[in-house]
Structure 1
Amino acid sequence: MSGTAGRAARAPAAGAAPAASAVPAAPASASARRVFGHPAAGPLGALAVGAAAAAYLYRTDPHQPGHLLPRCPFNWATGLLCPVCGATRMAYDLLHADPVRAFHDNALLLLCTPFLLAVAGRWAALGLRGRRWRPVLGARASVAVAVLLVAWAVLRNVY
C-alpha cells in the first residue's frame, strides 16, 4: 500500500484505545531520581545487601551440605579452586570469630580484606558527601592483580 491508504490502514479506529507501545512511559518523579541517583545510593544499597547476606550466612554453615548457597561455577566445571573459592566459608568463619579457619579457607582474600574494607569505606564516605567515586586501575596495576590471582589459583591447586 502506498500513499494515504497505507496511513489510514495503520491509524487506530476512532474511539479505540491506543496500542501499549504508543503510551509513553511515566516520567520518573523528581524525588525518585533524587534518591536513587544520589551518589550514596550505591554504597548504601551494597551495605544493605551485604548485611542481609551476612544475616543469612551467620545461620547457614557453608562447610556443611544442604543449603541454598551456590557452588563455585569454576570449581563445578573443572574441579579446581578459583582465586576466590572459599570466600563464603571465610566470611562465615569471620562472622563466628574464627580467623584461623578463615585463613585456611582463603588466605589471600583474608589478607586483602582490610584493603577491600578501606575501598568500600571511601566509596561510602564520598557518596554520603554527595560525590561520586569510580576508582580506576592503571594498566600496570591491572596486570599485577591478574598475575597475583593466577599465581594464587595455581598455588592453591598445587598444594
Structure 2
Amino acid sequence: MTFGAAVCTCIFVAAADPTTPGGMSPPCPTKALFGIVCPGCGSARMVYSLLHADLAKALAYNAVGVVVVALLIWSFLAWTLRRTSGRHLPRWEHWRWAPVTVGVVIAIWFIIRNLPFAPFTALAV
C-alpha cells in the first residue's frame, strides 16, 4: 500500500511538472503563509528532478530531501528483503541515534536555508 502511494505520488509529480510556475502543483503553504523556506520546500521539484535522473538539480532544490529519499528507499528495500526472503539487512531507523540525528539535521537545514546572507541565500528555493 505504501509503495502504491509512493508510485501514485511520483506519477502525479511527473505529470504536474512542479518546475513550471503556475502549474498544477500547489506552492509550499509555509512559504506562502509565513514567507520562510521550510525544510521540505523544493521537495516536489526535487522528486521531479530525480524522476528525470537530474541529480544536480535535485540537490539544488532540496539536498537533505535527496538524502531522505535514499534513506526511505533503503528502508523499503530492507523491509521487502526481510518479508520475501527472511534475510535481514541493517535498517538505519533502528540505530540508537537515528531520531536525534534526523531532528538535528532537519532543524539545522531549516535554519541555514533561511539565513539572509551568502552562501546560504542560494539554498532558498
- Count of paired positions: 111
Q: Is residue 2:104 matched to residue 1:147?
A: yes
Instruction: Calculate the aligned-residue CA RMSD, in Å.
Output: 2.4
Q: Is residue 2:65 matched to residue 1:109?
A: yes
User: TM-score under structure 1 normalisation?
Assistant: 0.59
Partners of 2:23 and 2:77 in 1: CA distance: 34
Q: Which moved more, 1:94-103 or 1:110-119?
A: 110-119
Tell me the equivalent position of 1:29.
Answer: none
Deviation at 1:89, TM superposition (A): 0.5
- Note closer, same or farther for the CA distance 1:74–1:97 as it changes in structure 2 (3 Å cut): same
Deviation at 1:110, TM superposition (A): 1.3
Q: Is residue 2:33 matched to residue 1:77?
A: yes
- Note closer, same or farther for the CA distance 1:137–1:84 as it changes in structure 2 (3 Å cut): farther
Query: Tell me, which stretches of 5 or more residues in structure 2 are unaligned?
Result: 121-125
User: TM-score under structure 2 normalisation?
Assistant: 0.73
Q: Deviations over 1:59-79 (max 9, x none)?
A: 221022131x33333223211
Q: Deviations over 1:101-146 (max 9, x none)?
A: 111100112134322211111123334458xx9x5564x4322221
Q: Is residue 2:44 matched to residue 1:88?
A: yes
Conserved 8 A contact 2:16-2:23:
no
Tell me the equivalent position of 2:123.
Answer: none
After TM superposition, where is structure 1 displaced by more than 4 Å over at least 4 residues in a row?
A: 135-138
Partners of 2:80 and 2:53 in 1: CA distance: 25
Which residue identity does 1:125 align to in structure 2? L
Structure of larger gyration radius = 1
Partners of 2:36 and 2:95 in 1: CA distance: 28
Tell me the equivalent position of 1:119.
Answer: 75
Q: What's the % identity of the aligned pairs?
A: 29
Query: Tell me, which stretches of 5 or more residues in structure 1 are unaligned?
Result: 1-44
